[in-house]
Amino acid sequence: MDARSLIYYLPIITTIITIIFAATIYKRYVQRGRTGNHLLWWTIGVLTFGMGTFSEAYITLLGWNPVIFKFWYVVGALLGGAPLAQGTVWLLLKPQTARRLTFALITAVTASAIFIVVSPINMAVVDTHLPSGRAFGWQWVRAFSPFINTYAVIFLVGGAIYSALRYLRVTRVGKGDVAELAQDRYIGNVLIAVGAILPAIGGSASRAGHTEYLYILELAGIILIWFGYWFNVRKRPLEEPLPEID
């Protein structure tokens, strides 16, 4: 088995990581009395990410089939980091705005998924080991994912960068425990921003026909996001004028 073939098995590792990570976030959600829509959406987002890598692992181990392929495209290529981004929307924006954006996202994803499900498959270009959007008979359905992925990048990556900059300012003016907590959250948000952008880059590579790069960047991305989350929540919030992000 060559190195390229070994890459096909990376989604198995990524899926296991997402299951543990999602359980960790959900546990925190429950501990807080099931308050905080952002934690629930982050749980959904990590699980969705895992469902995408699970379908990749399925194709690697058991072979390509149209049902799993379309499932992969909806939860992986189409949704991508959008549910995680929606968690950031609920964290940073007003509830009314978050509800409107949630409705818009669900509507866009549902409409796009319908066309993806009913699209015919071009069996002549199917790769038995790697899922790729090139297999769609209606190639125009692939135009939906860049819009939704852009939404994810704006709010997930952009939200993490915004939070990191706010905490960076606190590290410069704060003292003692306040500065230390802000430093942790600055590092955490930088890691989340980098981790979130890597699968987006991998998605672009996948659309260009290099799905193996997606596998590598998915694994690296979810590991960095988990480390970022850990930095954000590893210390109890202090009674100080820092924005609440845990």
Got the DSSP string for 155-169? IIIHHHHHHHHHHHH
- Tell the residue number behind the tokens 């002549």, with chain if given: 124
The DSSP symbol for 33 reads T
Q: What is the pLDDT of residue 3?
A: 55
Q: What is the pLDDT of residue 246?
A: 42
Would 130 be classed as within a structural domain?
Answer: yes
Query: What is the Cα–Cα distance from 126 to 145, expressed in whole angstroms?
Result: 20
Q: What domain count does the chain have?
A: 1
CB 41 within 8 A of CB 84: yes
Q: What is the pLDDT of residue 241?
A: 44
pLDDT digits (tens, 9 = 90+) for 165-211: 999 988 877 667 778 888 999 999 999 999 999 988 887 777 676 77
Would 245 be classed as within a structural domain?
Answer: no
For residue 121, which phi and psi values (nearest 5 degrees)?
-110, 135
Would 47 be classed as within a structural domain?
Answer: yes
Q: What is the pLDDT of residue 237?
A: 55
The DSSP symbol for 94 reads -
Query: What is the Cα–Cα distance from 194 to 158, expressed in whole angstroms?
Result: 11
Q: What is the pLDDT of residue 159?
A: 93
Q: pTM to 2 decimals?
A: 0.86
Residues contacting 17, CB < 8 A, separation 6+? 219, 222, 223, 226
Query: What is the Cα–Cα distance from 217 to 107, expressed in whole angstroms?
Result: 28
Strand partners, 136: 121
Would 198 be classed as within a structural domain?
Answer: yes
Q: What is the pLDDT of residue 242?
A: 45
- The rounded mean pLDDT for the chain is 87
Q: What is the pLDDT of residue 2?
A: 53
Would 76 be classed as within a structural domain?
Answer: yes
CATH code, 148? 1.20.1070
Q: Whole domain around residue 153: which residue ranges?
A: 3-233
Would 184 be classed as within a structural domain?
Answer: yes
Positions in the chain whose pLDDT score sits under 50 = 238-246
3-state secondary structure of 241: coil
Would 246 be classed as within a structural domain?
Answer: no
Residues recorded for the chain: 246
Would 242 be classed as within a structural domain?
Answer: no
